[in-house]
Amino acid sequence: MAEVRLEGLGKSFGTSRAVTGMDLVIADGEFVVLLGPTGAGKTTTLRLIAGLERPDAGSIRIGEEDVTGLSPAERDVAFVFQQYSLYPHLSVFDNLAFPLKSPARRWSAGEIDARVRDIARMVRIDHKLDSKSTKLSGGEMQRVAIGRALVREPSIFLMDEPLSSLDAKLRADLRLELKRIQSEIGATLLYVTHDQIEAMTMADRIGILAEGHLTQIGSPREIYTAPANLHVAARLGHPHINLIKPGLLPCQSMPDGVRTIGARTEHILVEAAASVAQGNGRVDWIEHLGDQNHLHILVDGQKITLLADPYSGFKAGDPVSVSLKQPLFFGADDRRITDV
């Protein structure tokens, strides 16, 4: 395992700039998640690090070595692709053994066999070693794909939405397992996802990508509680952060120059009001999600959505009084105003 350092990395395809000026240091043994909307340049970043694309600008270091000009084989990285993760013509065993059988590595058949069986146990696929890879379920395929990356002990693991094609339950299981394996072997891992729950639960640090720029990088807590700008704030939190104009809701101590206020559930106080005249809004409807409810409130024609206790007792049409406590303030340039 090694530290990976990206400096001023840039890549364009024709006129479209997929990645621009990316600076990122992934420490040895760190789990970094890149989060961003579709087309943000997440896959391109991974492909640049793997050597599948040549950067137009900047450099990539793995450990002590500048690998910017090296071929993929010389970089010693492992890649789990967004799709097409297994060789369809090979069995599970051969898929796992494939990286070890490369002529560049001179492993004996016995060593390969032992290593493959170890890894198969680790990703819990050892009962299917002789199956054809096309005969596996989606979750099993993804385990093998992750196993294929793990057999090699590379300097960094690059994973491109490895869990995106799975159902919610499997995703949750594999998420935990992947995190367990990563901390077990102390792997350096750069992981790409759309899914904020994956990002929040697995990452040591999260990097938020928008239109090829790394907008912010920090611990999940930092990204959630102290987003650098509106874009980052809008990426995290469920339900989505409420963006409202200053003055719509009562709020103590508002700094100057605020153009937008971002309010999540924990920033909003809702109390039942005795009558419409006393409150400043009313409950529009309540969305029942099982373990929790989404409360949709209308204030002056603007909709505000927040999480609510299922036993809070609100009904549609109830008058409420809504106020803010220490919400996020954004200025005219959409950056968060920090000196409150």
In DSSP notation, 3-38 reads -EEEEEEEEEETTEEEEEEEEEEE-TT-EEEEE--T
Between CA 92 and CA 131 the distance in angstroms is 6
Between CA 230 and CA 248 the distance in angstroms is 18
* Contact pick of 14, 15, 38, 104 for other proteins (by CB under 8 A): 104
- Listed residue (81, 95, 79) closest to 128, CA to CA: 95
In the block, tokens 């709020």 appear at 251
What does 44 interact with, of other proteins, ligand ATP, Mg ion, none (CB < 5 to 8 A by kind)? ligand ATP
Q: Residues 308, 294: contact at Cβ < 8 Å? A: yes
* Contact pick of 2, 22, 41, 43 for Mg ion (by CB under 5 A): 43
CB of 43 or CB of 229, closer to Mg ion: 43
Between CA 147 and CA 124 the distance in angstroms is 9
Binding map of ligand ATP across residues 5-44, x = CB under 6 A, - = no contact: --------x--x-x-----------------x-xxxxxxx
Cis-peptide, bond into residue 239, ω within 30° of zero: yes
Q: Does 139 bind ligand ATP (CB under 6 A)?
A: no
CB of 42 or CB of 264, closer to ligand ATP: 42
CB of 58 or CB of 279, closer to ligand ATP: 58
Residues between 43 and 102 with contacts to other proteins, criterion CB under 8 A: 50-52, 71-73, 75, 77-79, 81, 83-85, 87-89, 98-99, 102
Contact footprint for other proteins (CB under 8 A): 50-52, 71-73, 75, 77-79, 81, 83-85, 87-89, 98-99, 102-105, 134, 148, 152
